[in-house]
Structure 1
Amino acid sequence: MGDESKPVDGEVNDNKYLTKTAAADAEVTFEHQNAPPETRLYKKRWIIVFLFSSYSLCNSYQWIQYGIINNIFMRFYGVDSFTIDWMSMIYMLTYIPLIFPVSWLLDKKGLRVIALVAAALNCTGTWIKVASARPDLFPVTFMGQFTCSVAQVFILGMPSRIASVWFGSKEVSTACSIGVFGNQLGIAIGFLVPPILVPNVDDLDELAAHIRVMFYITAGVATFLFVLVVIVFQERPEIPPTHAQAAARRISPESYSYTGSILRLLRNKAFILLVITYGLNVGCFYAVSTLLNRMIIEHYPGEEVNAGRIGLTIVIAGMVGSLICGIWLDRSKTYKQTTLAVYLMSLVGLVLYAFTLDLGHLWVVFITAGTLGFFMTGYLPLGFEFAVELTYPESEGTSSGLLNCSAQVFGIIFTICQGKIMDSFNTLAGNLFLCAFLLIGTIITACIKSDLRRQLANQQALAAAALGRSDVQDHSGTSLHPSTHM
């Protein structure tokens, strides 16, 4: 027994030293296990979201560039108004079958791959259109528009994903609003620029020259943005920005099932109600935007340029509404209350617009259209962010995809139905048709349960981190150093 207490060569037999070393090691290990995950915000996040907004702008601009000068393209290509309406509706139709494979690709390959494909397709579509500026080449211009519509599928689901992957919990709604902002600004430019670049002239050769200039400008911008995406766009920051994102990164890719995610979302009652209401609201916006030229020209003949300006007013007001709503959500976290209030005001705005359109005063139409746009277009980022809250930790791309799919379905239905109602009756009847569905959407929105799962995850992570630090302090004062209490 006595020999066991003697140290051998190279061995330290200081019991006091061993006790302190073990205690220190145990304390470091315990504290490391209970420490919150490291988070960091990178300045590059602003470059990423603004670059995304830029190529989203270029794509959404082309959505409405035919519809806002519907009567001019009808004469140039020798087709009817319903055919030109399809130049906008093809964006909606393409989205429906492609959103699910694209959402799966976003989950599997990440943001950079999706961004590269989107920018490449958009660039390709613009150059196809450059070759279509002849009256006998309508199928070519339709092919170009179809290619751009495929690019849109890779774009619409990205704002909420970029916001979650790159931004802090106090700025995700603002970042999502900026992402949507680009799409809205593109629509605004699509309303404003085509009537200016393509005047309603009688000579078809002169008209072809104007159309060709418009297409070349778009192609040049799209090519520049594609090069920027290749050089600049990054998948994700090295260190996650939030505890919720850190937790999401710890989920093993092998354990993730896209089909399982879809099924879980379809069983989420609050989310399904939001999908319906989002589709109703945004579908109405798509219908109003697509048919705006026809509505204005019917009451104010020869006012193609002002029709574009009214469309611009709708979207610019909506961009302001989007940013205000995003900032408000980041500060208040009142997702359901804000969504419901904006939805109700969208209904009020459409009623005002419907009943003032035929008064004979364009300045009144500008005011009521701006009011409509502030709330109806401002609703877009609200729907995205509310969906992410209701569905966390499911993929933001999947939830956004389902929202947008609903919007495209309702957009096609509403555009066709409103167009037929306008042909058979008048613009007032067509707009009241949309008002009825906005009323239904407002009622359904009031029934959505406000289950803010992402906020809860961040709060729990912070609480657990605080509790862990407290436990470490208490533990270090008792268990690890029992001699202090002897």
Structure 2
Amino acid sequence: MRLSGERSRIIPQGEYVDTTCYVKRYRVYATRWLVLAVCCLLALSNAMLWMSFTTLTEEVNEFYCNGSDCSASFFTNQIFQLVAVITGIGGMYITDNYGIRLSIMCGTSLNFFGSLIRAASSVPVVGDLIMRQVLLHTGSVIVASAQAFFLVLPSKVAEAWFPENQRSLANVLTFIANPLGVVFGTVTPSLFFNGNAQSERTSWHMFMATTLTFLLSLFIRHGSPPTPPSVSSENHSSNVPPFWKSIIACFRSRQFFRSCLFRSLYDCMPPLFSYPTSLAALIGVVASLICGVVADCTKKFKELIRVCWVCFAFTVIFTRFVIVCVVVGEVPHDKHRC
């Protein structure tokens, strides 16, 4: 009895805590829809600025070059692609290290001020043609720099703000905003701005879209929610590898190169077969929405990707058959090819 009493004094019993009923609580915020809307509008307005002059080549040359062939619309288009390649790594680094909110603010600010400079180039007061072209291309470079920030946002926003049952849909909505902007940027100017006298108004209407996006971005107070929406979001935020290790891991991944190959083939096919850019983008928007809903409901991502690959392969085979046997087969000396 004495030994037992001494032992109880020397080694006191620890406090017992019952953890069997402890449940981690997660929360979703209505702010996620504002963040998603800003990302979608940013991608949409940027793509509209990118494609706004492609269908107004003659009007653009008439206004900025006084009718001479200075290829203003061509260089504006190429600026977007070149700047995106140069600034892409920097945008990814800033987003990974400084958060979603800073990336959104950088993207919307560049988009806003760049479109303002482009709109200033269309003011009739600026009579010097060289000054007009300088303002046009300077604004295009600034607008194109915004791509480095919003192109990496879809997966980041979906992972940080949305629960698992809405994540694929959030990804799809931000991804399709860019091709939808291509549709609007290609079709809208040719429908509403026919004629040389009205071509200068295009930049001001595009500027209104970027202004709305910039104003909405000012209401975003946090890059990530105070409480994560799901377990995977919490684990992802705490187990993020260093930036450069992630880049190296991409180049070691077979799936990464498959995705690059698929995207390269996708980008080459529409102009190769003379498909309208707006039509290809519109079909991509509809297909992406369907796949996003299916992925959210079934969670069968690998199976969905395999189905897309099979459909793509059959489409290529069918297209080749049509070209060889229908188009080329109409020539008498080539009928034996079918």
Matched, 1:48 2:35: yes
Q: Which of 49, 59, 75 does residue 46 from structure 2 map onto?
A: 59
The change in CA–CA distance for 1:65 and 1:355 in structure 2 (over 3 A counts) is farther
My pick for the range that moved more, 169-178 or 117-126, is: 169-178
Matched, 1:342 2:303: no
Query: Counterpart of 1:239 in 2: which secondary structure?
Result: coil
Give the corresponding residue for 1:154.
Answer: 149
Give the corresponding residue for 2:298.
Answer: 332
Q: Distance in 1 between matches of 2:87 and 2:186?
A: 27
Give the corresponding residue for 2:169.
Answer: 174
Q: Which of 125, 148, 167 does residue 114 from structure 2 map onto?
A: 125
Query: Counterpart of 1:168 in 2: which secondary structure?
Result: coil
Matched, 1:263 2:248: yes
- Cα deviation for residue 171 of structure 1 reads 2.0
- Cα deviation for residue 326 of structure 1 reads 0.5
Query: Counterpart of 2:222 in 1: which secondary structure?
Result: coil
The change in CA–CA distance for 1:334 and 1:2 in structure 2 (over 3 A counts) is closer
Give the alignment's TM-score, normalised by structure 2: 0.79
Matched, 1:248 2:236: yes
Deviations along 1:345-378, whole A, 9 cap, x unmatched? 456289759979xx9xxxxxxxxxxxxxxxxxxx
Which one-letter code corresponds to 1:217 in the other structure?
A: H
For residues 59-458 of structure 1, the aligned pairs below 5 Å read 59-78=46-65, 80=69, 84-133=73-122, 135-136=129-130, 137-199=132-194, 201=195, 207=196, 209-232=197-220, 234-251=222-239, 256-281=241-266, 283-284=267-268, 288=271, 311-346=277-312, 348=315
The change in CA–CA distance for 1:103 and 1:81 in structure 2 (over 3 A counts) is same
Asked if structure 1 preserves the Cα contact closer than 8 Å seen for 2:60 and 2:199, the reply is no
Q: Distance in 2 between matches of 1:277 and 1:3?
A: 77
Query: Counterpart of 1:68 in 2: which secondary structure?
Result: coil
Query: Counterpart of 2:292 in 1: which secondary structure?
Result: helix
Give the alignment's TM-score, normalised by structure 1: 0.57
The change in CA–CA distance for 1:62 and 1:351 in structure 2 (over 3 A counts) is farther
The change in CA–CA distance for 1:338 and 1:86 in structure 2 (over 3 A counts) is farther
- Cα deviation for residue 158 of structure 1 reads 0.7
Deviations along 1:111-141, whole A, 9 cap, x unmatched? 0000001000001111111122265422321
Q: Distance in 2 between matches of 1:83 and 1:71?
A: 10
- Cα deviation for residue 191 of structure 1 reads 1.5
Asked if structure 1 preserves the Cα contact closer than 8 Å seen for 2:64 and 2:72, the reply is no
Query: Counterpart of 1:235 in 2: which secondary structure?
Result: coil
- Cα deviation for residue 313 of structure 1 reads 3.9
Query: Counterpart of 2:137 in 1: which secondary structure?
Result: helix
The change in CA–CA distance for 1:3 and 1:181 in structure 2 (over 3 A counts) is closer
Asked if structure 1 preserves the Cα contact closer than 8 Å seen for 2:72 and 2:133, the reply is no
Asked if structure 2 preserves the Cα contact closer than 8 Å seen for 1:87 and 1:145, the reply is yes
Give the corresponding residue for 1:39.
Answer: 26
Deviations along 1:204-242, whole A, 9 cap, x unmatched? xxx2x4233221122223122212101236311111122
Which one-letter code corresponds to 2:251 in the other structure?
A: L
Query: Counterpart of 2:151 in 1: which secondary structure?
Result: coil
Q: Distance in 2 between matches of 1:155 and 1:213?
A: 26
- Cα deviation for residue 339 of structure 1 reads 2.7
The change in CA–CA distance for 1:143 and 1:344 in structure 2 (over 3 A counts) is farther
Which one-letter code corresponds to 1:216 in the other structure?
A: W
Asked if structure 2 preserves the Cα contact closer than 8 Å seen for 1:50 and 1:178, the reply is no
Query: Counterpart of 2:284 in 1: which secondary structure?
Result: helix
Query: Counterpart of 2:55 in 1: which secondary structure?
Result: helix
Structure 2 alignment gaps of length 5 or more:
327-338
Which one-letter code corresponds to 1:108 in the other structure?
A: N
Which one-letter code corresponds to 2:207 in the other structure?
A: A
Q: Which of 14, 18, 23 does residue 27 from structure 1 map onto?
A: 18
My pick for the range that moved more, 343-352 or 227-236, is: 343-352
Q: Distance in 2 between matches of 1:80 and 1:354?
A: 39
Which one-letter code corresponds to 1:260 in the other structure?
A: K
Give the corresponding residue for 1:446.
Answer: none
Structure 1 alignment gaps of length 5 or more:
7-12, 202-206, 297-309, 360-486
Q: Could you say what the CA RMSD is over the residues aligned between the two structures, in angstroms?
A: 3.5
The change in CA–CA distance for 1:219 and 1:4 in structure 2 (over 3 A counts) is same
Deviations along 1:388-443, whole A, 9 cap, x unmatched? xxxxxxxxxxxxxxxxxxxxxxxxxxxxxxxxxxxxxxxxxxxxxxxxxxxxxxxx
Q: Percent identity?
A: 20
Asked if structure 2 preserves the Cα contact closer than 8 Å seen for 1:70 and 1:81, the reply is no
Asked if structure 1 preserves the Cα contact closer than 8 Å seen for 2:50 and 2:77, the reply is yes
The change in CA–CA distance for 1:346 and 1:188 in structure 2 (over 3 A counts) is farther
Which one-letter code corresponds to 1:333 in the other structure?
A: K
